[in-house]
Chain A
């Protein structure tokens, strides 16, 4: 059974940083394209970014709203994906989901507020 488990969310102030992690079981993330998608409270879904598998070039793409502040990386030793979030803004407050194919994690909540 495929499971994705996000962690690392929390309460931070504007301008601070946070690092999210997506740990996988039942699937080798090294062979998968993996995305981060977020959902602000009471709002719709917003794609944040995606990491292609290395066999497809390994490129990483970001939404314009986070480009230059968020950075996706892989940790193959832990079968996980990371999302480094710097210079956080109030509008980054959201549940952050890790997604690959049809599989979604339960999400981790990030709250940015002064």
Chain B
């Protein structure tokens, strides 16, 4: 099974400053159809997860453009250009290229300094 490893696991950030979360997979996430099925989710305290990014870099509807996803192969990054208070929560990456099972990263907790 594919293993997803996120870093850091805890990320204290200053309001208005950028933040970056890394996600690495144990094998390439390029599917035989040429697509890369790597997703990012945000989970605010007490809320269900919300998908932010699909297929590496595509923002879901309603997601602010301060969120961006990038990467290829086994290395991926979620960036927040300027952190706002509402961005506090836990962020997960997930792969759906090699299934079953889908595999999630451990989660990165973003908090305000």
Tell me the A residues contacting B by CB distance below 8 Å. 35, 44-47, 49-50, 61-64, 95, 97, 102, 104-107
Checking A49, A61, A104 against B49 with a beta-carbon cut-off of 8 angstroms, the contacting residue is: A104
Checking B54, B99, B106 against A61 with a beta-carbon cut-off of 8 angstroms, the contacting residue is: B99
Contact B100 A102 (CB under 8 A): no
Contact B101 A47 (CB under 8 A): yes
Checking B48, B50, B61, B92 against A44 with a beta-carbon cut-off of 8 angstroms, the contacting residue is: B92
Contact B100 A63 (CB under 8 A): yes
Docked Cα-Cα span, A63 to B41, in Å, equals 20
Chain B residues whose C-beta falls within 8 Å of the C-beta of A61 in the assembled complex = 99-101
Docked Cα-Cα span, A46 to B60, in Å, equals 22
Docked Cα-Cα span, A63 to B107, in Å, equals 19
Contact A45 B92 (CB under 8 A): yes
Contact B102 A35 (CB under 8 A): yes
Contact B48 A106 (CB under 8 A): yes
CB distance from A87 to the nearest CB of B (A): 20
- CB-nearest residue of chain B relative to A95? B48
Q: B89-111 CB contact bits vs A (8 Å, 1 = yes)?
A: 00010100001111111110000
- CB-nearest residue of chain A relative to B104? A45
Contact B48 A104 (CB under 8 A): yes
Contact B104 A102 (CB under 8 A): no
Chain B residues whose C-beta falls within 8 Å of the C-beta of A97 in the assembled complex = 48-49
CB distance from B64 to the nearest CB of A (A): 15
Given contacts A102-B51, A104-B48, A105-B48, contact A44 B107 (CB under 8 A): yes
